[in-house]
């Protein structure tokens, strides 16, 4: 097993692949919560009904409103404990979360980053919609089909705006973090109740891959 420093390009990608910082829906009452109580329940029910699903995605990263990264690929969401992001364009990469552990294979740098999700839960977008941990602000509006999350944490203010489509599945996510960095995710072409093949969450790694074990936050 080897350890090493992670190139800046890989660090930037890896942060984006995680959907950045831990943003969780609050159990506290928000002004718009009472009138839209059924909306979030309907979104959660639709996600459960659709899994396992695949969806095409486009990820765009903006710094000072200038787009600096655009990548695309396919996500496999087996359940809340197993998710695979397969980046296809412009550079193949694979991010896998499985039962609290993650693996990120970066073929371009011949690296495998691996570790476990921290206690605060660096969650993926669909998992965020199911969390009810206190300490965050959240609101949703059924009319615009929008869910907004906000967390004032150690890394600064994180804001997430999730827009769901007519099918009540996430269609667009806009995430704003400290340092004028904004990440936009576009989700299209959901394929619901897909069959899972053998080895869906296995990685075919070269024998000389550099393995980097990361500490949970």
pLDDT of residue 23: 28
**Is residue 87, in this structure, part of any structural domain at all?**
yes
pLDDT of residue 180: 78
pLDDT of residue 12: 45
pLDDT of residue 99: 85
DSSP states along 26-78: -SS--TTTGGGHHHHHHHHHHHHHH-SEEEEEEEEEEETTEEEEEEEEEEEEE
**Is residue 55, in this structure, part of any structural domain at all?**
yes
pLDDT of residue 48: 87
pLDDT of residue 87: 95
Q: With contact defined as beta carbons under 8 Å apart, do 110 and 10 qualify?
A: no
Q: With contact defined as beta carbons under 8 Å apart, do 210 and 108 qualify?
A: no
**Is residue 213, in this structure, part of any structural domain at all?**
no
**Is residue 110, in this structure, part of any structural domain at all?**
yes
How many domains would you assign to the chain? 1
Phi, psi of 136 (to 5 degrees): -130, 160
In 3D space, the residue among 77, 93, 88 whose CA is nearest the CA of residue 12 turns out to be 93
pLDDT of residue 189: 96
Q: Provide the b/e sequence for 157-181 (b: ≥16 CB within 10 Å).
A: ebebebbbeeebbbbbbbbbbeeeb
**Is residue 202, in this structure, part of any structural domain at all?**
no
Tell me which residue range forms the domain holding 151. Answer: 8-194
Q: Which spans in the chain are helix H?
A: 8-17, 37-50, 125-128
Q: Tell me, what CATH number does 63's domain have? A: 2.50.20.10
**Is residue 104, in this structure, part of any structural domain at all?**
yes
**Is residue 143, in this structure, part of any structural domain at all?**
yes
Q: How many CB atoms lie within 10 A of CB 107?
A: 14
Give pLDDT tens digits along the chain (217 positions). 444 444 444 444 444 444 432 222 222 233 344 446 688 888 888 988 999 999 999 999 999 889 999 999 999 999 878 899 999 999 999 999 888 888 999 999 999 999 887 543 444 555 555 555 434 557 888 889 998 877 666 666 678 898 999 999 999 999 887 677 899 999 999 999 999 999 999 999 999 999 999 864 4
């Amino acid at each position: 097993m080897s350890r090493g420093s992670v190139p800046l390009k890989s660090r930037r990608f890896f942060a984006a692949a995680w959907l950045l910082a831990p943003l969780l829906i609050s159990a506290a009452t928000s002004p718009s919560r009472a009138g839209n109580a059924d909306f979030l329940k309907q979104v959660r029910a639709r996600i459960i009904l659709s899994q396992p699903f695949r969806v095409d995605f486009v990820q765009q990263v903006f710094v000072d409103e200038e787009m600096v990264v655009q990548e695309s690929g396919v996500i496999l969401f087996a359940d809340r404990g197993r998710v695979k992001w397969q980046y296809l364009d412009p550079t193949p990469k694979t991010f896998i979360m499985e039962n609290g552990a993650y693996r990120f294979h970066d073929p371009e740098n011949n690296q495998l980053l691996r570790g476990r999700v921290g206690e605060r839960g660096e969650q993926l977008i669909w998992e965020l919609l199911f969390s009810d941990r206190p300490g965050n602000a959240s609101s949703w509006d059924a009319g615009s089909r929008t869910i907004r999350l906000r967390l004032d944490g150690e890394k600064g203010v994180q804001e997430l705006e999730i827009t769901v489509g007519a099918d009540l599945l996430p269609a667009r996510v806009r995430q704003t973090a400290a340092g004028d960095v904004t990440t936009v995710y576009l989700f299209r072409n959901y394929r619901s109740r897909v069959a899972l093949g053998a080895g869906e969450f296995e990685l075919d790694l070269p024998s000389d891959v550099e393995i980097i074990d990361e500490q949970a936050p």
